């Protein structure tokens, strides 16, 4: 990695933490410049525009998501054990890993009607994540953990819903039962997928 690329990656790491707090919409070159104590023109050398910065932060988030959520799950046995770890990692992702919340969930509402490179990249990453869930469920079918006629894309839809609900209940409503509710909902989804 060149020195310029190393600097760029270090900036993106801080930009991701900032995004978790203020949302992707709040991530501007000016706000980031203050955080990393660089001049705005110094940042322009790395990111040609706010949109490029926002797009690259989404890539950084997706790479970290692979490292801390997907990769550990892929090391577990195929099928249900893998899905269970995926779920647990995802719960921690928007709470302990990124203490300001999941940047994908925050960006989903902000960018849903804003065409452009940021929205396109966001859609790509979400499809990747949901596709990983769907494929993991397909493997669980093959392993005989889930029933043969399971609609695995439907499984991904429902798992996504209960993960987002967890983020709202925990981070916004401050509901002490949120983690219990997430687990009960997940157990119900697994039961429903099994029989």
Paired tokens of 57: 């932060």
Q: What is the DSSP letter of 148?
A: T
195 exposed, middle or buried (CB, 10 Å; 0-12, 13-18, 19+)?
exposed
> Which of 10/109 has CB closer to a copy of itself?
109
Region of 5-13, 22-30, 35-43, 72-80 interacting with a copy of itself (CB under 8 A): 22-30
**Using CB under 8 A as the criterion, what x/- string covers residues 127-166 for binding a copy of itself?**
x-----------------------x-xx--xx-xxxxxxx
8-16, 28-36, 140-148, 184-192 -> range binding a copy of itself (CB under 8 A): 184-192
**Residues with Cβ within 8 Å of residue 55, at least 6 apart in sequence:** 117, 118, 121
- What are the C-alpha distances in Å from 160 to residues 9, 29, 86, 102, 151? 29, 31, 12, 12, 14
Closer to a copy of itself at the Cβ: 71 or 172?
Answer: 172
With contacts defined by CB under 8 A, name the span among 31-39, 71-79, 135-143, 185-193 that binds a copy of itself.
185-193
Nearest-approach distance from CB 134 to a copy of itself, in angstroms = 12
Q: Which listed residue (108, 139, 141, 150) binds a copy of itself by CB under 8 A?
A: 108
- Interface with a copy of itself, residue 117, by CB under 8 A: no
The least CB distance from residue 45 to a copy of itself, in Å, is 29
d(CA 99, CA 27): 16
Contacts (CB under 8 A) with a copy of itself, residues 76-95: none
Intra-chain end-to-end CA distance of the chain, in Å: 50
Q: Up-side HSE of residue 155: CA atoms within 13 Å toward CB?
A: 29
């Amino acid at each position: 990695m060149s020195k310029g690329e190393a600097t760029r990656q270090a900036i993106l790491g801080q930009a991701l933490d900032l995004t978790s707090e203020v949302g992707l919409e709040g991530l501007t070159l000016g706000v980031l410049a203050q955080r990393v104590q660089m001049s705005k023109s110094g940042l322009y050398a790395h990111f040609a525009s706010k949109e490029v910065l926002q797009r690259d932060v989404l890539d950084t988030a997706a790479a970290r998501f692979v490292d801390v959520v997907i990769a550990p799950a892929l090391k577990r046995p195929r099928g249900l054990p893998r899905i269970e770890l995926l779920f647990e990692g995802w719960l921690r992702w928007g709470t302990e890993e990124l203490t300001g919340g999941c940047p994908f969930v925050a960006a989903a509402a902000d960018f849903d009607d804003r065409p452009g490179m940021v929205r396109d990249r966001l859609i790509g990453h979400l499809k990747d994540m949901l596709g990983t869930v769907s494929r993991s469920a397909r493997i669980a079918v093959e392993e005989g953990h889930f029933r043969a006629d399971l609609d695995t894309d439907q499984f991904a839809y429902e798992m996504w819903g209960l993960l987002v609900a967890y983020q709202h209940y925990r981070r916004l409503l401050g509901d002490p039962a949120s983690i219990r509710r997430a687990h009960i909902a997940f157990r119900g989804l697994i039961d429903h997928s099994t029989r």
